Amino acid sequence: MVYLDPSEVSRRFPERPVSVASARRFVRAALDDVAADLVDTAQLLVSELVTNAVLHARTEVEVAVSRPEGRVRVRIGDRRPSRGLVPQHCPPYAGTGQGLALVEQLASRCGVDSGDEGKTVWFELWPDGPPPPSSGWEPSVPAWPSEQTVTLVDVPSALYFACAQHRHAVLREVTLAASVGDDLRVVPEDLTTAHDINNVISACATAALREPYPEAGLRSVRLPMPADAAPAVRTLRHVLDQAEEGAREELLLTLPALPRARAFQDWLFDQIVGQLTGGQPTAWTVMPREPEVSSSELVPWDAGQMQASRIPTVVADEGNRIIAANGPAADLLGWTPDDLVGRRLTTLIPEHLRGRHTAAFTSLLLTGRARIVGRSVPLPALHRDGDVVPVRLYIQTQETADGRTVFVGQLTPRASTTLDVPRGPGRSGQAATPEADEGPSPTAPERARRTSGAERGMSALDRLSLLADLGAQLNNTLDLDEGLRCAGRLLTQRLADWCVVDLFTEHAQVDRVCVVHRDPRGLRPGAYEGRLPAVSEESRGPLARALRGAGPLLLTDVAPPNRAGSALDRNYLELLRALGAGSAVVAPLRARRKIFGALTLTRAPGGRPFAQDDLALVDDLVHSLALGVDNARLYQQTRSIAERLQHSLLPVLPEVEGLQLAARYAASSTTAQVGGDWYDSFVVPSGDTAVVIGDVTGHNLDAAIAMSQLRSMLRGIAVDRQEPPAVVLHRLDLANHSLYREATATCVYGLVKGSAPGPWELKHSSAGHLPPLLTTREGGTRYLDDGAGLLLGMDPDVPRPTARHPLPAHSTLLLYTDGLIERRDEPLDDALERLRRLAADLAREPLDTFCDELLIGLGADSADDIAVLAVRPSPPL
């Protein structure tokens, strides 16, 4: 120790990482008779500041400790005054950049003193009494002999800070790894250059972006950079590329950057190097995207909108933990939302798929490549009571306000296949929120054209055009929610600022199902959607009157909510206030002498208010809208009947000694229709096990009814006659011909014969169906092409063949429908080869895993229903 005066001791430490621990021990020894809490705080802050000096100044560090008047004062000095402090605006979860923020938060006073020979960062800890004001610190941008300004256009601030934190974390870990001799293929001189230029970029950007998370997501930033910095930036890029490769090989604790952050960082370096060498700025928002990045702007995650959504939704972070879940998701899986938050995502995944999930999630974090993000995938979810819930999972990546990426999963029960996913030319991979569906914001001329009808009144031709277009919007989709959103967008473009639709449920409750605003950048309409208070006897407000059939009603003055007579009236008046309604029209939706709900259109003050002349047009609009709602609901009821029929016919598989059976059924992910796919298995009186797979042509209720009749007839014929499969299919064809002369179907009927120890044999016949696939335990695959005959319904008199095949122990016989493999514009041979390869890879997996992996790997985004039946002889050990 060197004694400078009676109240201070100091020590010099070399510019090595081990100096951080040595400095902590020195401080504790120097403060051995001071209160323990002050010593702990001093050690923590010294650790942070010495780490900064070692990483960024890279000179000898001097630590001095004194105790003036019972207080603690610590100074940390280095010999690089040109390397100024760069305070980082970091969220609590960040692993780097917290040092200076900790000093500001925990120290009584702090500051920095710079001179020609060096700089000193200091802090004081006062045990009692309020300290005088601290000098603190501000980001300092050094001056260079030759300077050039780099302009970054449309910088998303949150994404910039997230990328900067990742860069600092990677460089810090590479430095620590290099200090202990780990070979990350980074040249020491390059690492030094990378640190220096990264500090320059951070200092310049931090000074330019004082507010870390502005309300405006994008801004243009001017960075004063050294004119000769281009080679150093190239070196930084090379070092980070090498470090990222090491991270992907799991040589670092820091994970690689996700694709969006990697793309942004490449753009940032390209802009700096390009402009320093004479290039022009290019905005981040117009850069071409790789498939994994998908768009210039991620969908912003809105927890309130997720909670209000009627679609079961679970949100997880990059640590694979659930950070949010809404009520429908919790109800579907037997939890409460609060119980789910904080748990690992594997809580909702059946045990036989957890290993695959962990591997896939790790692969996503290491490589940035996702196999199921942005796709609708059929898979099982785990209920709290241990049961399996078949769902379709649609995952999208979204961005929090502070730049983190979260994974938002929508869980749609298999009985209902409608997903809230984008249609048309909207943002790729984003949920169809009211904002995302609005499309790009209109130009000034377009806004003028859109508002012209509302400002000047509509001509007769404009009115007819609006009615025709409204009908077309509703008729173009049979999904009610999507149709209402489309109608709302049309009405807000031509007639109003806001459009609100409230509908009765089947239990006479009222749901606010659609709130649309003209400007997608305005308030978030989803926050107002959801269940409304009941229509009670006390409800006398405009909405209650419309729901009882009155109207259209013109509202030119919105009463205060405290004057409302019921909860429903108060809710409606609060809505009008929140929407800033200067005038409004509310009208009932009525069709077939039944009221379905109400439509509200509002205009903001300052423009042309609604008047009596508008009521006739609104009356015509609500008639058209009500017919669309009625048609969509009738269709949904028909579809629901067909779905319930299909699922009621899915059999319980028999238990056969020495034989494992597993089956899966998944409705189409891309249509709102149902089909005629089915599977069946049962034991005939002789003891053989019948296996059946089939597909009736069509996607409607008729197909589902025909499927149910075929299934019942086949089971009855098979059990009664116990004849060879070819004869059973022949009799089924005759029976089918007597019912549906023009209906066609495909079917495979087989008998699996054997005893528990084996051997086992398959006898089967096919009526135009895809060939069964046999996969041995060793991964050998073979399609069983023989036994093929005509489709059912073609010609009942044509003979049908029966084929025989041995089933080796632990082999897997797979029967499947075309929805599993067939894709538009792809040859069938390629599809069959893809199935063969995946089945070979899964040959040794448990049978449940085998089936689920097939659906996950091949059934994503399938435009057709999928049925799968797998059989595996499993002799006792």
What local confidence, expressed as pLDDT, does residue 22 receive?
A: 93
d(CA 646, CA 675): 9
Q: Is 297 left (phi over 0), alpha (psi -120 to 50) or beta?
A: beta
Determine contact, residues 35/127, Cβ cutoff 8 Å: yes
CB 302 within 8 A of CB 524: yes
- Say if residues 404 and 162 touch (Cβ distance below 8 Å): yes
What are the residues whose beta carbons fall under 8 Å from the beta carbon of 655, sequence distance 6 or more?
none
- Is residue 522 predicted with pLDDT exceeding 90? no
Cα Rg of the chain (Å, integer): 34
Mean pLDDT for 286-313 is 62
Closest among 452, 542, 443 to 502, alpha carbons compared: 542
Residues 364, 248: Cα–Cα separation, whole Å: 10
Distances in Å between the alpha carbon of 220 and those of 154, 160, 171, 217, 282? 5, 12, 27, 11, 11
Provide, rounded to the nearest whole percent, the portion of the chain with pLDDT above 70.
80
Tokens of 170: 């990677």
| Mean predicted confidence (pLDDT) in 723-727 | 93
State the average pLDDT over residues 165-172: 85
Higher pLDDT, 859 or 739: 859
Identify the CA nearest to 137 among candidates 108, 102, 107, 112: 112
- Token pair recorded at residue 94: 């960040």
Q: Which two tokens stand for residue 130?
A: 């309020």
Is residue 55 within 8 Å of residue 179, measured between CB atoms? no
42-46, 554-558, 771-775: segment of lowest average pLDDT: 554-558
> Of the ranges 190-204, 342-356, 669-683, which one carries the lowest mean pLDDT score?
669-683
Residue 643 has what DSSP assignment? H
Token match 């928002």: residue? 285
DSSP codes of every residue in 362-374: HHHHHH---SSBT
| Single-letter amino acid code for the residue at 380 | P
pLDDT at 237: 92
**Residue carrying structure tokens 């995944």:** 349
pLDDT (0 to 100) of residue 439: 34
Answer whether residue 762 shows pLDDT above 50: yes
Over residues 569-612, the pLDDT tens digits come to 888 888 888 888 889 999 998 877 788 899 999 988 878 888 88
How many other CB atoms are found less than 10 A from the CB of residue 369? 12
DSSP 730: H
Average of per-residue pLDDT values in the chain = 80
pLDDT at 721 over 50: yes
pLDDT of residue 435: 31
> What DSSP letter does each residue of 34-70 carry, written as one string?
S-HHHHHHHHHHHHHHHHHIIIII-S-EEEEEE-GGG
d(CA 52, CA 743): 77
Cα 209 to Cα 201: distance, rounded to the nearest angstrom: 12
Top-confidence range, 142-151, 527-536, 618-627, 712-721:
712-721
pLDDT above 70 (res 58)? yes
**pLDDT number for residue 450:** 40
Three-class HEC string of 463-513: HHHHHHHHHHHHHCCCCHHHHHHHHHHHHHHHCCCEEEEEEECCCCCEEEE
| Residue of 17 and 424 predicted with greater confidence | 17
As given in the structure block, the two tokens for residue 398 are 């979204």
Tens digit of each residue's pLDDT (9 = 90 or more) over 116-134: 788 899 998 988 766 666 6
Provide the total of helices (H) and of strands (E) in the chain, helices listed first.
22, 31
CA distance 548 to 570: 17
**Residue 4: is its pLDDT beyond 70?**
no
Q: What is the DSSP letter of 525?
A: G
For residue 727, the model assigns a pLDDT of: 94
- Give residue for tokens 């490589």: 367
Say whether 528 sits in a helix, a strand or coil.
helix
The percentage of residues in the chain with a pLDDT greater than 90, rounded to a whole number, is 23
Tokens describing residue 28: 């504790």
- Which of the residue ranges 332-341, 385-394, 662-671, 845-854 would you say has the lowest mean pLDDT? 662-671
Amino acid at 700: N
- Is residue 217 predicted with pLDDT exceeding 70? no
Q: Which helix (H) or strand (E) holds 143?
A: none
Q: Give tens-digit pLDDT for 482-497.
A: 778 888 888 888 888 8
Note the pLDDT of residue 143: 66
CA atoms within 13 A on the CB side of 4: 13
Q: Among all chains, which residue has been given the structure tokens 């089918």?
A: 736
Q: Which positions ≥6 away from 441 have C-beta within 8 Å? A: 519, 520, 521
| 462: three-class secondary structure by DSSP | helix
Asked if 117 and 79 touch (Cβ cutoff 8 Å), the reply is yes
Q: Is the pLDDT of residue 216 over 60?
A: no
In degrees, to the nearest 5, what angle opens at C-alpha 485 toward C-alphas 481 and 489? 170
Kindly compute the dihedral angle of the four CA atoms of residues 864, 869, 870, 875, in this order, to the nearest 10 degrees: 170
Which pLDDT score is estimated for 783? Answer: 96
Contact 27, 44 (CB under 8 A): no
Instruction: Map residue 305 onto helix, strand or coil.
Output: helix
The per-residue b/e assignment along 221-235, b for 16 or more CB within 10 angstroms, e otherwise, is bebbbbeebbebbeb
Q: Please, which residues have CB within 8 angstroms of residue 297's CB and are 6 or more apart in sequence?
A: 156, 217, 285, 427
Task: Indicate whether 139 pLDDT > 80.
Answer: no
pLDDT surpassing 90 at residue 64: yes
| pLDDT grade for 661, boundaries at 50, 70 and 90 | very high
Question: Tokens in use for 124?
Answer: 């004081």
What mean pLDDT is predicted for residues 268-272? Answer: 92
Q: Which ranges constitute the DSSP H helices of 180-220?
A: 188-208
Residue 784: pLDDT band with limits 50, 70, 90: very high
Model pLDDT, residue 685: 93
Helix (H) or strand (E) holding 156: strand 147-156
The backbone region for 777, taken as left when phi is positive above 0, alpha when psi lies in -120 to 50, beta otherwise, is alpha
Which DSSP letter does residue 93 get? T
DSSP collapsed to 3 states, 544-585:
HHHHCCCCCEEECCCCCHHHCCCHHHHHHHHHHHHCCCCEEE
pLDDT surpassing 70 at residue 366: no
Strands 812-816 and 781-783: unpaired
Asked if residue 196 has pLDDT above 60, the reply is: yes
Is residue 483 within 8 Å of 633, Cβ to Cβ? no
- Token digits for 864? 């057709």
Q: Please, where are the H alpha helices in 277-340?
A: 303-308, 327-333, 337-340
Token duo for residue 73: 């004062």
DSSP annotation of 801: -
pLDDT tens for 617-655 read 888 888 888 887 877 777 667 666 666 666 666 788 999
- pTM exceeds 0.95 for this model: no
- Identity of the amino acid at 14: P
What burial class does residue 132 get, using C-beta atoms within 10 Å of its C-beta: 0-12 exposed, 13-18 middle, 19+ buried? exposed
Q: For residue 693, which of 827, 872, 871 has the smallest C-alpha distance?
A: 871
Q: Summarize the confidence of residues 73-85 as an average pLDDT.
A: 84
